[in-house]
Structure 1
Amino acid sequence: MAQHDYPGNGFSYRGSIHNHTVHSDGAGTVEALIAAAARAGLDFLIITDHNVLADQSQQGWRQGVLTLIDIEVHDPELVPERNHCLTLNVSEDVSPFARDPQGLIDAVRERGGLTFLAHPIDPPGKLIPECFPWTEWDIEGFTGVELWNFMSEFRPYATNKAKAVIMAYFPQWFTTGPWPEMLAKWDELLQRQPTAAIGGPDAHAQVYHLGPLKRRFLPYDYCYRAVNTHIITPEPFTQDFEHDKALLYDALAAGRAWIGYDMLHATEGFSFVAEGREGVVHMGESAPLRHGLTLRVRTPASGHIKLIRAGSGVVAETKGRELRHRPQQPGAYRVEVWKRWRFKSRGWIFSNPIYVS
């Protein structure tokens, strides 16, 4: 476990949400995923098999990783398939509610759980046309959205077999960030209600064949060094499962988190806070719009920092490691940080918002 101090008496932890095992359509056992997470130095791992709650007796602190088992729910009879939902902090199988998305969200909330819409914007590809977007946008009461689904980002890039082979061996050449349409949808939601965001690998680690070629695409070890969710807690993990589990889910529910593409450069050391008379306010929290309120961003390496107000776009930006801004309007303010690699700007850090009211 690699605990990091965070401004305002907080603590940050890095982990992976949205992972599949042999209990659904993943290639690895629960034990294999935990071992890969430990090798990557993750602090937590959330397994979300399709429509099955795997053996929760395997939850706990395993090989130094806080391991949790939840469910990704969808209606298997819906054609075309769509409306996948990550249901977290559940102790029973809620997949029977899958047919009615609002009913599912309500049932999970009544049980004290969280609901994140999985890969809500999920464009098809020329070579791989199947996709699983979210279409029921009249719902309410869900916790948040999966802003960056790592695996689904690659599908549209596979426009032909040759490109698919290159992508299988060099996926880092293709990674860019969340879909622009997803960022725009999140800003639309934020103008109506607080909406937390997470990122996940959607890890399956399946082997694909093309003629004589055989390749495991995005193995677990690779995924856990790529797109991660970093949480902020008010007190440190203690290795007590129930205590630490509550801290983790509370952080995700509030949006005290950022999404980091840690393969590009480790994102530990990032911070986005509001500083004012009330002290330090974290992501997912509210700060009153008063004289002297300052939004401050710090990054562990240089990048293109953008401060965005939902509905207004970029309100401040700089290239470097720090940005300060005094907001003039209420709203949901969030941060994007981009870095160039191989002649292309790539998404590096995506914060949850601070709500200035």
Structure 2
Amino acid sequence: MNFHIQLTRHLTPADQAAGPYVYLPFRLPQPARRLHVAYRYSAAISSDQVHGGNVIDIGLFDPRGHDFPGGAGFRGWSGSARQEFTIGLEEATPGYLPGPLPPGEYQIILGLYRIWEAGAHVDVHVQAELDPTLDATAPAPPSLAPRRLPPLPAPTWLRGDLQSHTVHSDARGTLEQLVARARDLGLDFLAITDHNTVSHHPFLPTLADERLILIPGQEVTTYRGHMNVWGTSRWCDFRCRTDQEMAAVIRLAHAHGGVCSINHPKTGGPPWEYSTDLPVQAMEVWQGPWPHHNAESLALWDRLLAAGRRLPAVGGSDYHCPADKETNFLRLGQPTTWVQVDEPDVAGILSAIVAGRSCISATPDGPRLDLRGEAGGQVAVMGQSLPGQGGEAPVHFTVEVWGGQGRTLRLVADGRPALEQPIRQEQAIVHASLPVARYMRAEVVGDMDPALLPVDAPPVDLRGWRWALSNPIYITGA
């Protein structure tokens, strides 16, 4: 390395109150073959801890700029998961984008996640291997060629997981290890949603095949809530503090073909502190094992539906792939989202999610639900609408359940239980005519058998777990 600079900063709670991000600029006088950044800060604690120290995240923008939203010079982000990273012409530390390193002003971005009362002293060391003979052309953003799979009978149900993480953010497992686990479970699709980066996207086409559709994703991880973006390799900004700034990021995602979904709006999620009126296309109502406060997300979703909001529900495990054996309660495919698609590709899956033609099950093996309705001579499936019948006139519903034997089917009308019926067969069909004003959805409920818990599972309430959730059928003219 023939270039070195040290950047220092003392950060206080006042700095954090002024804004959650601080930039440390430095200038490369010539193109570089390699750039290495290492940082340390005082009183470092785990991001899971709330008190007693500091948590400071890190990332990098190159001379193309760091304007909000979606600064063109974004080169990567590692949160607080790494103390150093390297960017080269053809390779980079996971979470960062390889490519030319042109001369000009770079910005180290520090995220002030937690700053304790004593403040934090930060040291950043930047080293570079300069080479004036290099082409300084900026790297092109990653691109993905859509993979067309052999046609399937349409419409077809596919099962998959919509939130997962690898070594490209804060998990230890590789993309290859995550994909192997998905194949072992028989998943048809998998969204890989590493935090605040798209560095994993260029590798996805070579890992996907006719057995597994890989959805390019990113979890926009802000200090006020998380949001998945699926279906675009355009990096979507996380530097949001207000509803207006989050709306700008959503517009950016939509402009590049992305689908946006609120993640885990519940205690410990972390919760969603932005408005639920933002133009997202889905909500992660079920994240990880059911007792992890998912009842809060479900209750929020019911309130939104009862108020007239049409917002499809999805599930995601939030699985952080380990490098070796499973080490916690989170498991890939728990829960699993099922989608009914006309085309077995990324676009077909995302279209089904946006349309609400999907349901959620506790595991890849089910149980699974399908809900249909009929009123006024019209027929509707999940995500569609039926005309209101006025007063107490009932609407006819049919629910088909696979794998729910021994549990209870519950129909929920306008946020309140409208029918409960034991499921006594492996495949059951239930008919019901019920009054409904806004929406009807279905769920499978039942207690958890403690023998089915992992041996390292923490103490949890075994009562009233959800085993499957449908999306609603909406009622118009209410």
Q: TM-score, normalised on structure 2?
A: 0.57
1:309 counterpart (413, 426, 432): 413
Aligned AA for 1:142?
A: V
Matched ranges for 1:104-119 at <5 A: 104-119=249-264
The Cα of 1:281 is off from its aligned counterpart by 2.0
Partner SS for 1:199: strand
Matched ranges for 1:48-127 at <5 A: 48-60=193-205, 61-62=208-209, 64-75=211-222, 81-95=223-237, 98-99=240-241, 100-123=245-268
Aligned AA for 1:304?
A: T
The answer as to 2:418 corresponding to 1:319 is: no
The answer as to 2:332 corresponding to 1:223 is: yes
Residue matched to 1:200: 316
Residue matched to 1:281: 380
2:280 counterpart (142, 152, 155): 142
| Structure 2 residue runs without a partner (length 5+) | 1-148, 450-461
Q: TM-score, normalised on structure 1?
A: 0.75
The Cα of 1:31 is off from its aligned counterpart by 1.5
1:32 counterpart (177, 187, 195): 177
Considering fraction of residues, name the structure with more helix.
1
> Sequence identity, in percent?
26
Aligned AA for 1:140?
A: L
CA contact (8 A) 1:176 1:347 kept: no
CA contact (8 A) 2:234 2:256 kept: no
1:329 counterpart (423, 430, 436): 436
| Structure 1 residue runs without a partner (length 5+) | 76-80, 124-130, 154-174, 209-213, 238-243
Cα deviation 1:181-204 (Å, max 9, x = unaligned): 221110111123101111111011
Cα deviation 1:52-101 (Å, max 9, x = unaligned): 013423334336100112110123xxxxx331111112221012554422
Partner SS for 2:297: helix
Cα deviation 1:308-327 (Å, max 9, x = unaligned): 1234x112221123332224
The Cα of 1:338 is off from its aligned counterpart by 1.0
Counterpart-to-counterpart distance in 2, 1:64 and 1:299: 25
Counterpart-to-counterpart distance in 1, 2:256 and 2:239: 13
Residue matched to 1:78: none
The Cα of 1:177 is off from its aligned counterpart by 7.0
Residue matched to 1:168: none
Aligned AA for 1:272?
A: L
The answer as to 2:355 corresponding to 1:254 is: yes
CA contact (8 A) 2:378 2:386 kept: no
The Cα of 1:138 is off from its aligned counterpart by 5.5
Cα deviation 1:287-309 (Å, max 9, x = unaligned): 22358852111212322111112
The answer as to 2:188 corresponding to 1:43 is: yes
Counterpart-to-counterpart distance in 2, 1:32 and 1:47: 12
Aligned AA for 1:32?
A: Q
Cα deviation 1:114-160 (Å, max 9, x = unaligned): 1111111124xxxxxxx52111125421112111110xx5xxxxxxx
Counterpart-to-counterpart distance in 2, 1:70 and 1:145: 15
Greater length-normalized contact order (CA 8 Å, ≥ 6 residues apart): 1
1:183 counterpart (298, 304, 308): 298
CA contact (8 A) 2:374 2:380 kept: yes
Aligned AA for 1:40?
A: L
More off after superposition, 9-18 vs 279-288: 279-288
Aligned AA for 1:223?
A: L
- The verdict on how the C-alpha distance between 1:112 and 1:203 changes in structure 2, with shifts beyond 3 A counting, is same
Cα deviation 1:180-230 (Å, max 9, x = unaligned): 22211101111231011111110113489xxxxx972257xx423x31100
Partner SS for 2:164: coil
The Cα of 1:345 is off from its aligned counterpart by 3.4
The answer as to 2:134 corresponding to 1:12 is: no
Counterpart-to-counterpart distance in 2, 1:87 and 1:12: 22
Partner SS for 2:447: strand
The RMSD of aligned alpha carbons is: 2.8
Partner SS for 1:287: strand
The Cα of 1:40 is off from its aligned counterpart by 0.4
Counterpart-to-counterpart distance in 2, 1:4 and 1:344: 39
Aligned AA for 1:319?
A: P
Counterpart-to-counterpart distance in 1, 2:152 and 2:195: 33
Aligned AA for 1:199?
A: G
- Indicate the structure (1 or 2) with the bigger Cα radius of gyration: 2
Partner SS for 2:193: strand
Partner SS for 2:440: strand
The Cα of 1:276 is off from its aligned counterpart by 5.0
CA contact (8 A) 2:395 2:436 kept: no
Residue matched to 1:171: none
Aligned AA for 2:441?
A: R
Counterpart-to-counterpart distance in 1, 2:277 and 2:347: 26
Aligned AA for 1:307?
A: L
